[in-house]
Amino acid sequence: MSKSVRFWNRIAEKYAQSPIKDMKGYEATLARVRAHLTPDDHLLELGCGSGSTAVMLAGDAGRITATDYAGEMVAIGQRKAAEAGVENVTFLQADPFDPVLEPGAYDVVMGMNFYHLLDDMSAGLTRSVELVKPGGYVIAKTPCLGDAPFFKRLMLKTIVGVLQLVGKAPSVGFVTGDTVEAQMKAAGLEIVERSVTDGMVPRDFIIARRPA
Ligand SMILES: C[S@@+](CC[C@H](N)C(=O)[O-])C[C@H]1O[C@@H](n2cnc3c(N)ncnc32)[C@H](O)[C@@H]1O
Confidence of residue 193 (pLDDT cuts 50, 70, 90): very high
pLDDT digits (tens, 9 = 90+) for 119-135: 999 999 999 999 999 99
Q: Tell me, what's the pLDDT at 167?
A: 87
Ligand 1 lined by 48 (C-beta under 6 Å): yes
Ligand 1 lined by 205 (C-beta under 6 Å): no
pLDDT digits (tens, 9 = 90+) for 67-79: 999 999 999 999 9
Q: How many angstroms does the Cα of residue 70 sit away from the middle of ligand 1?
A: 8
In a mutational test of the pocket of ligand 1, which residue from 68, 93, 97, 126 has the highest number of ligand atoms less than 8 Å from its CB? 68
The domain of 88 spans 3-209
Q: How many angstroms does the Cα of residue 81 sit away from the middle of ligand 1?
A: 18
- Can you tell me which atom of ligand 1 is nearest the CA of 94? 21
- Indicate the number of domains in the chain: 1
pLDDT digits (tens, 9 = 90+) for 141-160: 999 999 999 999 999 999 99
Is 12 within 8 Å of 89 (Cβ atoms)?
Answer: no
Q: What is the CATH number of the domain that holds 95?
A: 3.40.50.150
